[in-house]
Structure 1
Amino acid sequence: MKLHKNLVFTVIDSLVMIFNDGDYADKVVAKALKKDNRWGSKDRKFIAETIYEIVRWKRLYAEIAEVKEPFSREDLWRIFAVWATLRGILLPDWKQFKNTPTRRIKGRFDELSKIRKFRESIPDWIDEVGVKELGEEIWNKEIAAQNQQAHVVLRVNNLKTTKSKLRAVLMDENIETYSDEKYPNALILKERANVFITKAFKEGWFEVQDASSQKVAPLLDIQPGMRVVDTCAGAGGKTLHIADIMQNKGQIIAMDLYESKQKQLKIRAKRNGVFNIEYRIIDSTKIIKKLHEKADRVLIDAPCSGLGVLKRNPDSKWKLQPEFLDEIRKTQEEILNSYSKIVKPGGKLVYATCSILPSENEKQIEKFLKTDFGKNFKFIKDEKVLAHKSGFDGFYMCLLERLE
C-alpha cells in the first residue's frame, strides 16, 4: 500500500479532534470524508478505517510509540508510524517518519501483546470491571471480540418490501449481502459499503440495525392494534422495528428526554412509511404518571455503559469513566421503577441494554423484582448476547409480565 500525504494528514487532523478535543469519532469521520470530493471510495475507506483502527488501539500504539496524552502532532505521527509498521506498510521518505524504529516497534508489540490491557487496548479500570463481573475466561474472549470490526447489518422494513426483494435491489448496486436464520429480518453485508446513498435506503426499505438489537422488539410479543410505549426511544431504531411488527396498526408512544432525537425519529418514520407513532418529550414526571397502567407493552431500552458495543464505538472506552458506571446503574434502577408503572395489569415489559455487565442487567432485574412494585411482575425469560459467541453486538434483554 502506498501512503498519500493528503489522506494521512486528514487522518492526523481527525485524531487531534478525537483524542485532544474530545469529539466523537463517528462525527469526525463523517466530516473528514467530506473534505475533498475528488476522493474515491478507496480513499474514503482508508481514512475511515485508519481513524477507527488507531482509535481502537490507542493505548497499545501509544505505549509502543512511547507517547502520552495530550498528544502533540509529532506524537500522533509516531502513533501512525506504529499502525503502518504493524500492517507491513512501507513508510515513505517523509520528514514525519524520520528515524522511525521499525524493528523496535515489532519487538515492543510482541512484548506488550502478552499483557491483556495493552493487547486489547483498554483502560485498567475497564479491564478490572470486566474480570470482576464476567470472570477471566469469558472476559478474555469478550474483550477480544469487541476489538473486531463490526458487521454492517440491515433490518428489512416489511412495511415496504421483502428480504428477497431488498437483497436483489442491493445486488444491482453491487452490494452483496447474506442472511442468518437466527435473525429473520436481517441482511448482513459481505463487505462494508455506504448503504445510505442507495435508492433502497432513501425509499425506506431498510434501516441499519445490528442483529443483536433486532432481537429486542420481537421479545415484547406485540400484536397489531396494541398500545406500545418505547420509553427511551432515542432516534428510534427499535421504535421503527416495533411499528413494522405492528403493521402500522395500533399506537406507539415514543418518549425521550431530547427533542433532537425525536426530530431524527420523525424523519426516519416518514422515510419508513410509519404513521402510528405519537411523540412525547419527558420534561416532567407528569408525562409518566399520565400513562400509568395504560400500555399493553413497554420497552425500556435503558441508558447504559455501552460495553457491549465497543466494536461499533471504539472511542467510547476512552470517554467512559468509573463514576459514570456508578451513576448509570442508579439511573437504570430509577427508570425501571418509574417506567414499569406504565404497564397495565396483564401487560408485558422488556428491559434491555447494550451492556454485557451483570450489574447493569440481571442484577437490576433481580433488584427490581424484590421491590414493593416489582413484586407485581413475574420473570418470563431473558437473553444475554455476547459478542464472542454471536459475532454481533453484546446485548441483554429481559421479558417481564405484570400480574393481573
Structure 2
Amino acid sequence: MTAPAPQKTVNIRALAARCCYSVIEQGRSLGEELPKQQDKVAIKDKGLLQEICYGVLRYLPELEHDVRGLMQKPLTGKQRVFHFLLLVGVYQIKYMRIPDHAAVSETVAATGALKNRHMKSLINGVLRNYVRASQDKNTDSKAELLSDAIKYNHPGWFIKKVQLAYPDNWQQILSANQQKPPMWLRANQQHHSSESYQALLSKAEITVHSVEPLTQAIELKRPCDVSKLPGFSQGWVSVQDGAAQQAARLLACEPGDVVLDCCAAPGGKTCHILELTPNISAMTAIDIEASRLLRVEENLARLGLSANVIAADAANADTWFQGQLFDRILLDAPCSGTGVIRRHPDIKWLRKATDIDALVLLQQQILKETWSLLKPGGTLLYATCSILPEENSEQITHFIDNNTDARLLSIDNTAAKENDAIGWQLLPGVSNMDGFYYAKLLKIKT
C-alpha cells in the first residue's frame, strides 16, 4: 500500500498578507477572502490565520505608522503585498503572544511562499529594527502628536461623524469597535427555553458569561466551534448577536399574521420570528442577492422551519409582490454596517464617506416601497446595524414628516410621546452587544 504524500507546508503569514492585500488594495470583503485562504490550511491553523488578518485590519493605521518609520520609501507595485507582510509581522510582535524571534523568522520565511526571496533581507531588517525599537524603554512614541486616525485606528471621516453624533462618548464607541466580539446564542424555543439550554451548556462544560434580560440571549464566556454546541445540527440553537435578537421581540408577531422579512439574508431574524411565533399565517423572506438566500434556506432547513424565500428587489415591489398586504414587516435595511465593525473590521476600510448619502437614499426608497405593502393597522420595524443618525433617527424623522399615516411607537408598543427618542439606538459594546438601531412604526387606519 502506497503511503500518502506528505502535506505541503503552508506559510500562514503569507496567506494573511495576501488576504489583507486583497481587502485593502482590491476592495474585497474579508468575509469572502479569509475562507479562501483558510481552505488552504489545517484546521488547527485556521484560528491563527483569522487572528492575524482581523488584527491587521483592526490596527491598520497604527501598524502602517510603525512600518513607515522604519522604511526609506514605501513598497509599491508588485512589491505591495510585502507591505502587508510587514504589517503581519509587526502585529504579531506588538499584540500576540508569539515570541519575537518566532514572529520574525516565520514572517521572513513567507517571502519564499510569496515567490520573492529577494525581499527576505528587507523584511528581516525592518522587523528586527522594530523589535529593538519596541524594547527601547527610552523611546518616545510622541502619541500626542499622532493623528486621530492613527490613535484610534479608524478612518478620519468616520471619526468626525462619530464625534459629531456622540460628542460625550465617541472615544468609547471607537474603543468598543476595537474589541474582539463575544459569541451570543439564541436557544430555539421550539426545543428548549434559554434556561434549559444553559443547563445543557453547563453539562458540555461551556461557560455562560451573561444572559440578556429582554430576549434571554446567551453570551458565552469565550467563543467555541458550533460543533461543540449541544444540539446545533438538530436545530436547538443558533449563533446570533444579542442586539440582533431584539428584532423578533420588537416585531411582536401574533397568531395568523402575514409577515415579511425584507433584506432577510442570512436569515437569522427570519428564523427567530418563526421560532417565537410558529402559528403565524405566512412568512415571506426576500433579499436582492440570490446567492445570499442559500444561507437563509440552510438555516431554515437546519431549524426545521419553512418560509417563502424570494430573490427580489425590496425597492421595486412590482417585480415580486403578489397582492396580499402584510400585518408585520421587518425591514433590516441595507446600511453602512458601522455598528458591527468589531465583527467586520474591514468595514472601516471598505466603506467610504461618499457611500453614506447613497445608502440614505436607498433606505428611503425601500422604506417607502415596503410601507405600501403594509396593512392599515399593521406594524413595520425598521432596523439597521449602523450608528449613524442619518441612517437611523434622521431617516425615521424624515419618513414620519412625509407620511401622515405613520406613527412612531415606543419600544413598549405604545404610541411614542413627543419627547421620546426617535427609535432605539444601541451602541457597540453596551451590554457587550453590537451597535444596532430599531424604530417601530404603526400604519394608522384612515
- Are residues 166 and 316 of structure 1, via their aligned partners in 2, closer, same or farther at CA, if it must alter by over 3 Å? same
Q: Distance in 2 between matches of 1:388 and 1:205?
A: 27
- Match in the other structure for 2:318: 286
Preserved contact between residue 160 and residue 272 of structure 1 (Cα < 8 Å):
no
Q: Encode CA deviations 1:285-313: one digit per residue, 9 max, x unaligned.
A: 32466447x11111111010011010011
1:36-185, aligned counterparts within 5 Å?
36-37=41-42, 39-40=43-44, 43-66=45-68, 67=74, 72-87=80-95, 89-92=99-102, 94=105, 95=108, 96-98=123-125, 99-105=128-134, 107=139, 111=143, 115-135=147-167, 137-185=168-216
- Match in the other structure for 2:389: 358
TM-score (norm 2): 0.81
Preserved contact between residue 329 and residue 374 of structure 2 (Cα < 8 Å):
yes
Preserved contact between residue 159 and residue 272 of structure 1 (Cα < 8 Å):
no
Percent of residue pairs identical: 26
Preserved contact between residue 10 and residue 41 of structure 2 (Cα < 8 Å):
no
Q: Which of 1 and 2 has greater Rg? A: 2
Preserved contact between residue 14 and residue 85 of structure 2 (Cα < 8 Å):
no
1:134-283, aligned counterparts within 5 Å?
134-135=166-167, 137-196=168-227, 198=229, 200-275=231-306, 277-282=307-312
- Are residues 160 and 134 of structure 1, via their aligned partners in 2, closer, same or farther at CA, if it must alter by over 3 Å? same
Q: What amino acid sits opposite 1:90 in the alignment?
A: D
Residue of 345, 357, 372 corresponding to 1:314: 345
What is the Cα-based RMSD across aligned positions, in Å?
A: 2.6
- Are residues 104 and 72 of structure 1, via their aligned partners in 2, closer, same or farther at CA, if it must alter by over 3 Å? same
- Match in the other structure for 1:386: 427
Number of aligned residues: 393
Which sections of structure 2, spanning at least 5 residues, go unmatched?
1-8, 69-73, 109-122, 411-422
Q: Distance in 2 between matches of 1:109 and 1:240?
A: 50
Preserved contact between residue 307 and residue 355 of structure 1 (Cα < 8 Å):
yes
Preserved contact between residue 274 and residue 305 of structure 2 (Cα < 8 Å):
yes
Residue of 397, 404, 407 corresponding to 1:375: 404
**1:111 CA displacement:** 2.2
**1:173 CA displacement:** 4.3
**1:172 CA displacement:** 4.6
Are positions 1:402 and 2:410 aligned together? no
* 3-state SS of paired residue (1:117): helix
- Are residues 263 and 113 of structure 1, via their aligned partners in 2, closer, same or farther at CA, if it must alter by over 3 Å? farther
**1:177 CA displacement:** 2.5
Q: Distance in 2 between matches of 1:254 and 1:368?
A: 23
Which sections of structure 1, spanning at least 5 residues, go unmatched?
none
Q: Distance in 1 between matches of 2:230 and 2:141?
A: 44
Q: Distance in 2 between matches of 1:111 and 1:146?
A: 20
Preserved contact between residue 155 and residue 186 of structure 1 (Cα < 8 Å):
yes
Preserved contact between residue 340 and residue 434 of structure 2 (Cα < 8 Å):
yes
- Are residues 247 and 329 of structure 1, via their aligned partners in 2, closer, same or farther at CA, if it must alter by over 3 Å? same
Q: Encode CA deviations 1:15-67: one digit per residue, 9 max, x unaligned.
A: 23333343322333323333233x53xx3322211210111111110111115
TM-score (norm 1): 0.89
1:296-315, aligned counterparts within 5 Å?
296-315=327-346
Q: Distance in 2 between matches of 1:222 and 1:152?
A: 26
Q: What amino acid sits opposite 2:346 in the alignment?
A: D
**1:178 CA displacement:** 3.5
Q: Distance in 2 between matches of 1:395 and 1:317?
A: 17
